[in-house]
Amino acid sequence: MSQQVKLLEEVVGVPLLRRKGRSVELTDAGQVLRPALTQAFQTIELTLNAIARGPRHDTLKLCLLPTLAEKWLVPRLSRFHGAHPELDIQLMTSFREIRFEAEDVDMASFMGTDVPPGLDGLRLFDDAFQPVCSPAFLRDTCPLATPADLSKATLLHSVRRMDDWQRWLDHAGLTKLKPKRRLSFENSSLAIQGAVDGLGVAIVQRAYAVELLKVGTLVAPFDLVARSDNGYYLVWSTARAATPAFRSFLQWIQQEVRGSTT
C-alpha cells in the first residue's frame, strides 16, 4: 500500500500522508482527496460486482394491439414484476402483422381463429363483445330498459371494429335499429374512454372492459354478449422461446389466462 501512496504523491506533487512514528495521518491535501478516492473505489467495486454477476436484467420485447396492451396486459404487469423483478419488459404497440424473421420482437398479438402457420401461440381470450356505458349516462342521459332503447342513444365504436354493433344488434333481434347518432374512434381504447366520459354507449370486447365493470366505472345495460369465431392470441417464433426470460413470461401469462374471468 505504501508504494501505491508514494506513486500517487508523485502524481499530485504533494504529500498525502504525514508519518508520526508507527502511525500516519492525512495531510490537508489527503483530506481533500479522500472523498473522491472513496467514491471512485466504490464505483469500481460496484462495476466489478456487476461484471461478476453478469447482466442483471433480461429484456423481453412485446408488440401488441394498442387496446390489448393498454386494457389487458398493462394492468397485470405489476404482478409480473412482483414475481420477476429481474426481468424487463419493452412494450410496443402496432396494428400490423409482425415478421419475426426480420424484426427484433419476442412476442406479438394476433386476432384470428387459430395461431398462424409456422408460429406457436397462446389463446388469451375469446372475441366476445357487448354494450357498455357510464352509470351517469344510463341514469341521467339515456335510460335503457330494453335493447330497443338504443335507438335514442349515441353508439360508440372503433373504426377497426365497424361491424360489432350490427352483429350485436342482429344477435338481439334488432337488425334494423337506427341509433340517434354514431361516434367512431381510432381504436377500442378510445371508444371505452368515450363511454367512461358519458359520450354514449360503446360496443367493446368484454376482456377490455371487465375491470372497469368490476369497479363500477362502466356498466353493462344488457346481459347479452355477442361472439365471433375469432380469438386474441399471443404468438411467437419457436426460435425466440429458448431464453429464461421468455419461459418465465410465458409461464406467468398462462397463469393469468387460467385465472381470467372473461
Q: Based on the fold, state whether residues 184 and 134 are members of the same structural domain.
A: yes
Amino acid identity of residue 191, one-letter, is A
pLDDT recorded at residue 50: 45
Is pLDDT of 112 > 50? Answer: yes
pLDDT recorded at residue 240: 82
Residue 228, C-beta contacts closer than 8 angstroms, at least 6 positions apart: 127, 167
Q: Based on the fold, state whether residues 38 and 156 are members of the same structural domain.
A: no
pLDDT recorded at residue 43: 57
Residue 236, Cβ density class (10 Å: 0-12 exposed, 13-18 middle, ≥19 buried) = buried
Q: Based on the fold, state whether residues 42 and 136 are members of the same structural domain.
A: no
Q: Based on the fold, state whether residues 234 and 212 are members of the same structural domain.
A: no
Mean pLDDT of the chain: 89
Q: Based on the fold, state whether residues 152 and 210 are members of the same structural domain.
A: yes
Average pLDDT over residues 170-189: 97
113 strand-pairing partners: none
pLDDT recorded at residue 51: 55
User: Is-contact 260 122, C-beta < 8 A?
Assistant: no
Q: Based on the fold, state whether residues 155 and 198 are members of the same structural domain.
A: yes
Segment 114-138, tens digit of pLDDT: 999 999 999 999 999 999 999 999 9
Q: Based on the fold, state whether residues 151 and 223 are members of the same structural domain.
A: yes
For the chain, counts of helices (H) and of strands (E): 9, 10
User: How many CB atoms within 10 Å of residue 149?
Assistant: 15
Q: Based on the fold, state whether residues 189 and 236 are members of the same structural domain.
A: no
Is pLDDT of 237 > 60? Answer: yes
Residue that terminates a domain, selected from 53, 74, 91 = 53
Is the pTM higher than 0.85? no
CA distances from 63 to 21, 108, 225 (A): 69, 5, 28
Average pLDDT over residues 63-74: 97
Question: What is the extent of the structural domain holding 19?
Answer: 2-53
Q: Based on the fold, state whether residues 114 and 164 are members of the same structural domain.
A: no
Average pLDDT over residues 4-22: 73
Q: Based on the fold, state whether residues 7 and 47 are members of the same structural domain.
A: yes
Number of domains in the chain: 3
Segment 14-65, tens digit of pLDDT: 787 787 777 778 788 777 777 777 666 755 764 565 455 454 458 899 999 9
Q: Based on the fold, state whether residues 163 and 178 are members of the same structural domain.
A: yes
Give the whole-angstrom CA distance, residue 161 versus residue 108.
20
Q: Based on the fold, state whether residues 35 and 153 are members of the same structural domain.
A: no
Q: At 179, which CATH number?
A: 3.40.190.10
Q: At 6, which CATH number?
A: 1.10.10.10
The residue length of the chain stands at: 262
